[in-house]
Amino acid sequence: MPRVLGVDIPNERPTVVALTYLYGIGPKTARELCRAAGIEPQKRARELQEDEVARLAQLLDKEDYIVEGQLRRQTAQHISRLRDIGCYRGLRHRRGLPVRGQRTRTNARTRKGPRKTVAGKKGVKDLR
């Protein structure tokens, strides 16, 4: 398995698809990287030579691509800033609820987690 920026990319995938396994690289950026490094996009990742992998790593380091750990850190800092200033989006992050205006009465299970059953009130029976 070729290793780029500390991440093992899958052997059996074409290079352009395997690069998308890096956090922060989508299909368009993967195509640009292959073009800039002079690598055939449909070439399998296991067929990459050491110098080709090194060229990819070098491009990711020197270019203005923010990927993997640096991007995760940056995202976490943005969220913590929102929490600290106490804005609406920060409060939603803090409570683990949807941030972008989605409904929460139904759905929202991804953010809220599995359902927590709450015991309902028992009705008073009529004594007639």
Convert the pLDDT of each residue in 71-104 to its tens digit.
999 999 999 999 999 999 999 999 999 999 999 9
CA distance 13 to 19: 9
Mean model confidence pLDDT for the chain: 90
Give the model's confidence band at 14: pLDDT under 50 very low, under 70 low, under 90 confident, else very high.
very high
The per-residue pLDDT for 91 is: 96
- Whole-prediction pTM: 0.75
Residues sharing a CB contact under 8 Å with residue 96, sequence separation 6 or more, in sequence order: 111, 112, 113
Q: What is the pLDDT of residues 104-119, one digit of tens each?
A: 999 999 999 999 888 8
